[in-house]
Amino acid sequence: MNTLAQKKLLVGVTGGIAAYKSPDLVRRLRERGAEVRVVMTAAAREFITPLTLQAVSGQPVRTDLFDPAAEAAMGHIELARWADAIVVAPATADFIARLAHGRADDLLSTVCLATRTRLLVAPAMNQQMWAAAATQANVEVLRQRGVRVLGPDTGAQACGEVGPGRLPAPDELAAAIAAQFTAPRFAGVRVVVTAGPTREPVDPVRYITNRSSGKMGYAVAEAFAGAGAEVTLVSGPAQLPAPAGVALVKVETAEEMAAAVRAAIDGAQVFVGAAAVADYRPAEVAGQKIKKTAETMTLALTRTPDILASVAMRTPRPFVVGFAAETERIVENARTKLERKNLDMIAANDVSLPGLGFDSEENALRVIWKTGEANLPAARKHELARGLVELIGDRYFENRVENS
Ligand code: PMT
């Protein structure tokens, strides 16, 4: 069990039904050795009482920004400085929005704004509220600022709906919080990730491309950065911001992506090819816009470089992970690619399923390596990417031990 001995944790409780789990979370954090203080919002007090949290934390609970007695003991600025981490659990959609917009209209939001310590939020809300574009944009803003987002879990909700938005179980949450204080698994490891589509020009105004949004590859890059890796993300045209702490190299064509990977790969220990690289490009790029003349026209295409296979052919070579976008015989086709391209691991996705794969928020992966395989069931791409990075870590560090 990861310890939290001598860690000072400020637990923020906001007003959602999942607040009933907060006392249990406080109890489990203390079991791991943490000193815990609690700040509640006004809405949180509609769900549980400060007395309950005072009893489990062993400390007075703070609720008001303008409380002369409490400010005399430990003012909000001292509280912000005191904490080794601030954990908001549950974090409602409203609190996440206020945090993303830098509001300081109650004690908890003020402390979050006044701190330089690590900030963790565990969202919990109705699944439609979680899926809402505004909430997702706010969560993205927080991630970009380095806030760690824990969860949410998917499952039956208090409102009777089923979906993502549940607060993780208190023991899991306590373990995830404790993990923030252990040395990150990929510290000192250099990782190169490709993402997004490529654009292969036909003439000055037309190109061949595909439906990749880049979300999967960006999520993988972000998950590696979160695990302490030094990450270079080589991305085709995607409308996504660079993940925090990741060096982003933007390219257009498969040739440019191959060149950018060649420039970044020396000294890298892990390579992940999540990009949907065009297999063919027009053999000739017309200098002028092609005019409409005959009823039909034929475009001659030529093969692009296979970036993944060429990285796997290098000596010394990094640990190489490919993706396989398949619409039939998923595992069989992915295994063939694993062997043909000499990969260490391949993440196969069935891109014929609605709502998964290309240009969607969620995906599901069947991860295959030479001696085993694992299923990562349908989940948001950020969550899935963290699972994939864990699996890569298991194999990568095992190989390193074997080869040392
Ligand atoms: O970007 P999103 O909208 O989030 O969608 C995610 C995704 C579906 C694009 C992603 O999960 C995925 O499957 N990426 C790989 C898509 C693909 O091109 O698969 P493939 O089976 O054609 O290629 C196999 C592997 O070879 C891939 O790792 C690919 O990056 C690599 N490749 C392919 C061709 C080429 N010329 N060079 C390569 O490196």
Domain CATH for 14: 3.40.50.1950
Q: Is residue 287 part of a domain?
A: yes
Same domain, 152 and 225: no
245-263, pLDDT tens digit by residue? Answer: 899 999 999 999 999 999 9
359 lines ligand 1 (CB under 6 A): yes
Structural domain span for residue 242: 190-403
Instruction: Judge contact between 125 and 92, C-beta under 8 A.
Output: yes
122-181, pLDDT tens digit by residue? Answer: 999 999 999 999 999 999 899 888 898 998 988 888 888 888 899 999 998 998 899 888
Instruction: Say whether 159 is catalytic.
Output: yes
337 lines ligand 1 (CB under 6 A): yes
Which is catalytic among the residues 77, 137, 159, 244? 159
CA 85 centroid distance within chain? 20
Q: State percent of the chain over pLDDT 70.
A: 98
Which of 160, 179, 198 finishes a domain?
Answer: 179
Q: Is residue 1 part of a domain?
A: no
340 vs 400, more confident? 340
351 lines ligand 1 (CB under 6 A): yes
22-64, pLDDT tens digit by residue? Answer: 999 999 999 999 999 999 999 999 999 999 999 999 999 999 9
Classify each residue of 90-119 as buried b or exposed e, where b means 16 or more C-beta atoms within 10 Å of its C-beta. Answer: bbbbbbbbbbbeeeeebbbbbbbeebebbb
214 lines ligand 1 (CB under 6 A): yes
Q: Identify residue 110 by its one-letter amino acid code.
A: T
pTM of the model: 0.68
Q: Structurally, how many domains does the chain consist of?
A: 2
Residue with tokens 């995830």: 176
Closest ligand 1 atom, CA of 323? 28
Q: Which residues on adjacent β-strands are paired with residue 119?
A: 86
Q: Is residue 361 part of a domain?
A: yes
Closest ligand 1 atom, CA of 276? 18
Taking the C-alpha atoms of residue 13 and residue 89, their distance in angstroms, rounded to an integer, is 6
Ligand 1 center to residue 274 CA distance, Å? Answer: 5
Same domain, 207 and 158: no
CATH at 301: 3.40.50.10300
CA atoms within 13 A on the CB side of 188: 3
Determine the residue of 277, 359, 360 to mutate for testing ligand 1's pocket, defined as the one with the most ligand atoms within 8 A of the Cβ atom. Answer: 277
Q: Is residue 184 part of a domain?
A: no
Same domain, 218 and 86: no
